[in-house]
């Protein structure tokens, strides 16, 4: 089958997904086999919202705290010479992040070290999504990196023996009426994973978080008040007050962990948030609008929302895994080896959800089958373009007004329920009319579902019940 394309010479060319139904660009649902192609206009192919970025947050009508979720481009303010340069920067960050996750989640290298959150050893810094949180009483507004694979919440603190540059003034515990050091013998201190806590000379609980590239944060653990937008302040949250911090976190003051462990934000809030949160990731680019992060369980999920069980890696329980069982292209399920995506008893393999990885990674055999089937469905109707770094399946769509793109479906569970991804979650624009398939091969058996495939889809993670939900509409 060939892509359908309408040629014109007058107009210039121009990152969660585990639902047991089909979600399309228009929020419509249908049989997976009937959704063989999507049509896109390459001259106006963008995931950016029409609104300007905003860091404002507000309480929802249901009382749950809601935060604006900003892509790094809206926070860093960095500009690139071209779209291609921006994507190359993203791919470079991705490579470091994925290398660390693969090392962290390999059965031969798993450790009890805290810190799977952010990899920051490259010049552009790390962290893909950010929120603005008030820390202390009165609240000091700080940008924090959001990470679904992390348990520890921390900020840089005065006095700072070693700190990287951040956008906001350093948090000063002396100016907060609610700051209280956690004693090293307390239950809260013992909740930190083994090897990550200790006692300072003052008797305070000392914490340290290390990252795969040599970045780290060290300091004391404290109980503090956090304010989320205009919502009621949340008291008694354990956070790290970092006095020695090394890394480049794109101006963020620290990190907001949303992982499955007890020290993450949702783990600590417990009954207040129901152990749950929902999010919609904003698109890439400095001109993208804000997404959203909402804390707590939504008791009024729209009709048509579907829930899929989460899987837990006993060796690394902070991460959220899902049971991917197959892939499809152009309405046809691919013939893949059974168990290719299974999470093994020793913690290897599996499919982990990660907001910090952009491009979805698949085992080499699965990726090769997906890539070849996609290219076959495209056919020879459109010119190929040279690959760009790890993105090896690219097309030159310059001058085309309408292009027919084969769908990609993800199958989950024993029943093979399918999610068909919108075209905007399949392709990444390189500039100059070139588009590349936003999937790549993994160097190990680990699969990672990245944020390009998650963008624009309402996702609810309920760690208390062990399910992830996907709304019937895009966001």
Query: Could you give the CA distance from residue 347 to residue 333 in angstroms, rounded to a whole number?
Result: 27
160 sits in the region (left: phi over 0; alpha: psi -120 to 50; else beta) called beta
Q: Which two tokens stand for residue 340?
A: 């290719």
Alpha helices in 44-177 (DSSP H): 72-76, 83-104
143, 168 Cβ separation under 8 angstroms: yes
Residue 386 burial class via C-beta count within 10 angstroms: exposed 0-12, middle 13-18, buried 19 and up: exposed
What φ, ψ does residue 352 adopt, rounded to 5°?
A: -100, 140
Q: Name the active-site residue from 94, 298, 354, 462.
A: 354
Pairing of strands 276-280, 180-181: unpaired
463, 260 Cβ separation under 8 angstroms: yes
Query: Could you give the CA distance from residue 140 to residue 142 in angstroms, rounded to a whole number?
Result: 6
Query: Could you give the CA distance from residue 355 to residue 117 in angstroms, rounded to a whole number?
Result: 10
- HEC string for 378-415: HCCCCCEECCECCECCEEECCCEEEEEEECEEEEECCC
Q: Is 338 a catalytic residue?
A: no
DSSP 158: S
Instruction: Determine the distance from the C-alpha atom of residue 87 to the mean position of all C-alpha atoms in its chain, rounded to a whole number.
Output: 17
Query: Could you give the CA distance from residue 441 to residue 444 in angstroms, rounded to a whole number?
Result: 9
Distance, first Cα to last Cα, the chain:
32
Pairing of strands 234-246, 154-156: parallel
Q: Name the active-site residue from 147, 298, 396, 462.
A: 147
Residue 328 burial class via C-beta count within 10 angstroms: exposed 0-12, middle 13-18, buried 19 and up: buried
Alpha helices in 136-251 (DSSP H): 187-191
Cis peptide bond prior to 159, omega within 30° of 0: yes
Residue 155 burial class via C-beta count within 10 angstroms: exposed 0-12, middle 13-18, buried 19 and up: buried
Q: Is 354 a catalytic residue?
A: yes
Query: Could you give the CA distance from residue 299 to residue 203 in angstroms, rounded to a whole number?
Result: 43
Catalytic residues: 147, 354
């Amino acid at each position: 089958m060939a892509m359908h394309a309408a040629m014109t010479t007058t107009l210039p060319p121009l990152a969660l997904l585990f639902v047991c139904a089909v979600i399309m660009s228009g929020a419509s649902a249908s049989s997976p086999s009937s959704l063989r192609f999507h049509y896109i206009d390459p001259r106006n192919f963008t995931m950016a919202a029409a609104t300007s970025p905003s860091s404002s947050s507000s309480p929802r009508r249901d009382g749950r705290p809601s935060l604006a979720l900003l892509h790094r481009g809206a926070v860093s303010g960095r500009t690139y010479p071209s779209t291609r340069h921006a994507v190359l920067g993203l791919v470079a960050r991705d490579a470091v992040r994925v290398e660390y996750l693969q090392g962290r989640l390999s059965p031969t290298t798993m450790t009890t070290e805290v810190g799977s959150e952010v990899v920051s050893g490259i010049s552009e810094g790390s962290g893909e999504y950010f929120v603005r949180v008030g820390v202390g009483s009165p609240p000091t507004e700080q940008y924090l990196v959001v990470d679904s694979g992390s348990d520890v919440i921390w900020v840089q603190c005065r006095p700072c023996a070693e700190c990287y540059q951040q956008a906001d003034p350093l948090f000063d515990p002396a100016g907060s009426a609610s700051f209280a050091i956690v004693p090293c013998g307390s239950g809260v201190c013992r909740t930190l994973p083994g090897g990550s806590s200790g006692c300072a000379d003052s008797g305070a609980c000392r914490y340290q978080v290390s990252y795969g590239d040599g970045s780290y944060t060290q300091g004391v653990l404290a109980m503090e008040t956090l304010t989320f937008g205009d919502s009621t302040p949340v008291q008694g949250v354990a956070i790290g007050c970092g006095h020695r911090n090394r890394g480049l976190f794109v101006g963020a003051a620290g990190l907001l962990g949303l992982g499955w462990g007890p020290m993450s934000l949702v783990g600590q809030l417990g009954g207040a948030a129901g152990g749950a949160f929902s999010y919609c990731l904003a698109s890439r680019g400095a001109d993208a609008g804000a997404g959203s992060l909402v804390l707590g369980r939504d008791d009024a999920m729209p009709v048509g929302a579907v829930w899929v069980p989460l899987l837990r890696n006993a060796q690394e329980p902070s991460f959220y895994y899902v049971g991917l069982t197959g892939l499809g292209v152009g309405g046809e399920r691919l013939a893949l080896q059974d168990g290719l995506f299974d999470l093994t008893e020793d913690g290897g393999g599996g499919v982990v959800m990660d907001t910090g990885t952009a491009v979805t990674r698949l085992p080499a055999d699965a990726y090769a089958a997906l890539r070849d089937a996609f290219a076959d469905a495209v056919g020879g109707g459109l010119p190929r373009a040279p690959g760009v770094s790890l993105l090896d399946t690219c097309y030159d769509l310059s001058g085309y007004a309408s292009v027919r793109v084969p769908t990609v479906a993800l199958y989950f569970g024993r029943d093979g329920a399918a999610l068909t991804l919108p075209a905007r979650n399949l392709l990444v624009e390189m500039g100059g009319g070139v588009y590349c398939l936003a999937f790549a091969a993994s160097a190990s058996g680990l699969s990672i579902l990245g944020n390009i495939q998650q963008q624009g889809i309402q996702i609810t993670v309920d760690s208390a019940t062990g399910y992830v939900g996907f709304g019937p509409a895009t966001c």
